């Protein structure tokens, strides 16, 4: 079969992605969540730090849409505040960790030899140490410091598997003839890395970054749940859920909204990632239909 000339790869991917209704749903959900997190607070008259001393532990009402907490804080404002933080941390962590993975993996794969062995040994080491434990141990050191430090730690312990995948791809790509052609023409190895190797895995990297967003949010909320992550006065979905859990049975509004938004966020992100993977992978069954 001759290839259909004229349809660019980008358009093809877009077309395949659009056909996956469930992935589209994920995309719409993400857009909604981001808009909701950042524009939602201005719809309510309550600020996340304000307290309504006339309403302690009130169920959702016209006044307080998601109800109030034990100390009279507005759950709607707090939940959106937490959603903001979790989204920002998730996206930042995913971008940093995927970037790190791309550079380490590609360097290990392309240069080979000792570079490869040292980097991969380091990857193995970090895989033996569950990142959760390490970040928990280190949590006292960033208490009272900026949450960005937490992001760096999260990213620093979540790039290893992606790096391995990138390394594998690099190993096969560097044997490809167009890379060898560039080498024989005297193109420098750094140029080859950034001009030929990384762009040719960009689709995989984008997919991985997307999936890593979900992983990062889960890791963040998990650590925050135990108090090892986002520290007061900052709030995230994790800290909110931790606060709400104790009264999940009696005062469900403290728990349902932040929990529900967390599930929706992670689900939406992974559905988009999965849809992208199917759309990019020309071998996947659905892409041929």
Partner 1 sequence: MVKFMARRFLNYLILVIVATSLGYLLAAVSLNPRSNFEGRNPAPPKSSVDAKLDALNLNDETPVLTRFKTWAGGVVHGDFGKSIDNQPVSSEMWRRMGVSLRLLLVGSVLGGFFGIALGTISAIKQYSAVDYGATLGSFVLLAIPVFLLAVLLKVAALNINKWAGTPIFYYTGEFTPGLQGSWWDHTWDRFQHFILPTLSLVLGQIAFYGLYQRNAMLDVLGSDFIRTAQAKGLRRRTAIIRHGLRLALIPMATFFAYEFGLLLTGATFTEKIFGWHGMGEWFIDSVTKNDVNAVATVTMFAAVLVLVAGMMADLAVAILDPRVRSS
Partner 2 sequence: MTGLITTSTDGQTSVPAPVLEIADLRVSFPSEAGTVEAVRGLSYAVSAGEVLGIVGESGSGKSVSALAIMGLLPDRARVEGSIRFGGRELAGLGDKALTDIRGSGIAMVFQDPLSALTPVYTVGSQIAEAIRAHHTDTSRAAAADRAVDLLKLVGIPNPAVRAKSFPHEFSGGMRQRVMIAMAIANDPDVILADEPTTALDVTIQAQILEVFHTAQEATGAAIVMITHDLGVVAGFADRVMVMYAGRAVETGTVEDAFYRSRMPYTLGLLGALPRPDLETREPLTPVEGNPPSLVGLPPGCPFAPRCPLKIDVCETVEPPLAPTAVPGHQTACHRSGFLEDGDLKAGDVFPVPAALPPALAGVPREQRPVVLEVTDLVRTYPLTTGSIFRRTIGEVRAVDGISFDVREGETLGLVGESGCGKTTTINEIMSLATPSAGTIKVLGQETGSLDRKQRRKIRRQLGLVFQDPNASLDPRLPIGDILGEGMKAYGVPVAERRSRVSELLTLVGLGPEHVNRYPAEFSGGQRQRIGIARALSLEPRLVVLDEPVSALDVSIRAGVVNLLEDLRARLGLSYVFVAHDLSVVRHIADRVAVMYLGRIVELGTVADVFDAPAHPYTQALLSAVPVPDPRQERARKRILLEGDLPSPSEVPTGCRFRSRCPLYATLLEDHQARCRDDDPVLTPQGPDHTAACHWPEARTVF
Please tell me whether residue 206 binds partner 2 under the rule CB under 8 A: no
Q: Which among 8-16, 41-49, 237-245, 253-261 is the span making contact with partner 2, rule CB under 8 A?
A: 8-16
> What is 208-258 written as a DSSP string?
HHHHHHHHHHHHHHHHHHTTSSS-TTS--HHHHHHHHHTTTTT-THHHHHH
When asked if residue 18 is in the footprint of partner 2 (CB under 8 A), the reply is no
Q: Is the Cβ–Cβ distance between 210 and 273 less than 8 Å?
A: yes
The reply on whether position 286 binds partner 2 by CB under 8 A is no
Judged by beta carbon, residue 109 or residue 259, the one nearer partner 1 is 259
1 binds, among partner 1, partner 2, none (CB under 5 to 8 A by kind): partner 2
Question: Residue 179 or 266: which CB sits closer to partner 1?
Answer: 266
d(CA 67, CA 55): 9
DSSP letters, 32-98, are HHHHHHHHGGGGSS--TT-B-TT-SSPPS-SSSTT-B-TT-BBHHHHHHHHHHHHHHHHHHHHHHHH
Residues 137-176: x where in contact with partner 2 by CB under 8 A, - otherwise, as a string: ---------------------------------------x
270: contact with partner 1 by CB under 8 A? yes
How far from chain centre, in Å, is Cα 113? 32
Which residues bind to partner 1, rule: CB under 8 A?
22, 121, 124-125, 127-134, 136-141, 161, 214, 218, 221-222, 225-228, 241-242, 245, 248-249, 255, 259, 262-267, 270-271, 274, 283-285
């Amino acid at each position: 079969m001759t290839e259909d000339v004229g349809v660019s790869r980008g358009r093809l991917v877009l077309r395949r992605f659009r056909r996956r209704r469930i992935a589209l749903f994920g995309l719409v959900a993400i857009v909604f969540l981001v808009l909701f997190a950042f524009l939602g607070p201005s719809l309510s008259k309550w600020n996340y730090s304000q307290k309504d001393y006339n309403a302690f532990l009130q169920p959702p009402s016209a006044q307080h849409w998601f109800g109030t907490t034990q100390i009279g804080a507005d759950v709607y404002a707090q939940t959106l505040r937490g959603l903001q933080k979790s989204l920002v941390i998730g996206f930042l962590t995913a971008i940093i960790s995927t970037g790190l993975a791309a550079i380490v993996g590609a360097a290990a794969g392309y240069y080979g030899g000792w570079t490869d062995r040292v980097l991969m040994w380091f990857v193995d080491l970090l895989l033996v140490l569950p990142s959760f434990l390490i970040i928990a141990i280190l949590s006292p050191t960033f208490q009272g410091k900026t949450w960005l430090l937490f992001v760096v730690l999260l990213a620093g312990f979540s790039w290893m598997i992606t790096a391995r995948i990138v390394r594998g791809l690099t190993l096969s790509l560097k044997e490809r003839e167009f890379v060898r052609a560039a080498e024989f023409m005297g193109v420098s190895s750094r140029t080859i890395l950034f001009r030929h190797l990384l762009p040719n895995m960009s689709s995989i990297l984008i997919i991985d970054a997307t999936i890593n967003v979900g992983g990062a949010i889960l890791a963040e909320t998990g650590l925050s749940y135990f108090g090892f992550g986002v520290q007061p006065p900052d709030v995230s979905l994790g800290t909110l859920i931790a606060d709400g859990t104790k009264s999940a049975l009696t005062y469900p509004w403290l728990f349902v909204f932040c929990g529900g938004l967390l599930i929706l966020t992670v689900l939406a992100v992974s559905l988009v990632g999965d849809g992208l993977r199917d759309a990019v992978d020309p071998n996947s069954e659905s892409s041929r239909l």
